[in-house]
Amino acid sequence: MEFLSRMMDRSIFRDARDRLEPVLSGSAGRREGEVRLKEVPIFEGCSQRQLRSVARIARVFEAPAGTVLTRVGDPGDEFFLILDGTVSVDVSAGRPVLLRPGEFFGEMSLLDGDPRSATVVTATPVRLLVIHRVNFSFLRREVPELTQILLVTLSRRVRQAEARAERMGER
Ligand code: CMP
C-alpha cells in the first residue's frame, strides 16, 4: 500500500533512489545480490566496454509482490528489465500478460513520449534493472543490438494482442 500511494503521485523512483543499487559490468567477484550484466541475456553479446557503459546508467531495484510499477495514463520515465520474479501487465483485451526474467517493459513511453499504455504490477517479489529516460537513448546508441530486440518484441506483442482481441471477438 505504501508503494501504491507513492506511485499515485509518481514518486516511487524518486523516493526509492537510495535503494537503486549499482550493478557490476565485469566478472570480478560479487557480493550477495549484486548483478553481473554479462549474465543478463540481452547483454550477453556485449563487449566489456559496452558493459561498463551500461553499468554506469543501470540500477537494480527490488520490490515486493503487489507493487504498482507503471500505471496506465501516467507519464513514464523508466525502462525495466526483469532479473528475477514475474510482473503482470494489465492489458485491455483478456487476461493479464505475465512477463518473466529476461523480459522487459516500460519501453513504449520512452520511445514515443506518450503516457504508460498499461498498468504493470509485480506478481511476485522482483528484482529489476532500471534505466531512466535520460539514459535510454544513450543505452540504444551504446548497445545497437537492443533496438532490434525492442522491435522484434514490440512486433510479437502486437501480434499477440491482435490474436487475443480476435479470440475475444469470437466468443
Ligand atoms: P509503457 O507503455 O511505457 O508502460 C507499460 C508497459 O507495459 C509498456 O510500456 C509495455 O512495455 C508493457 N505492455 C503494454 N502492453 C503490453 C502487451 N500487450 N504485452 C506485453 N507488454 C505490454
Residues 6 or more apart from 128 whose CB is under 8 A from it?
A: 60, 61, 62, 63, 69, 80, 81, 82, 83
Instruction: State the distance from the centre of ligand 1 to the C-alpha of 162, rounded, in angstroms.
Output: 14
Amino acid at site 78: E
pLDDT at site 70: 97
Amino acid 82: pLDDT: 96
Q: Ligand 1 — pocket residues by CB below 6 A?
A: 70, 76, 89, 91, 97, 105-109, 116-118, 120, 157, 161
Q: Per residue of the chain (171 residues), give pLDDT as tens.
A: 334 445 444 445 555 554 567 676 655 555 656 678 888 889 989 999 999 999 999 999 999 999 999 999 999 999 999 999 999 999 987 899 999 999 999 999 999 999 999 999 999 999 999 999 999 999 999 999 999 999 999 999 999 999 998 888 877
Q: What is the rounded CA–CA span in Å between residue 77 and residue 148?
A: 21
pLDDT score recorded for residue 26: 59
Look at residue 20 in the predicted model and tell me its pLDDT. Answer: 67
Cell of 115: 503516457
3-state secondary structure (DSSP) of residue 142: helix
Q: Whose CA is nearest to atom 19 of ligand 1?
A: 157
At residue 157, the pLDDT reads 96
Nearest Cα to 13, choosing from 53, 65, 68? Answer: 68
Q: Answer whether 41's CB lies under 8 Å from 102's CB.
A: yes
Q: pLDDT value at position 10?
A: 46
C-alpha cell at 48: 566489456
Q: Is 137 helix (H, G, I), strand (E, B) or coil?
A: helix
pLDDT at 37: 87
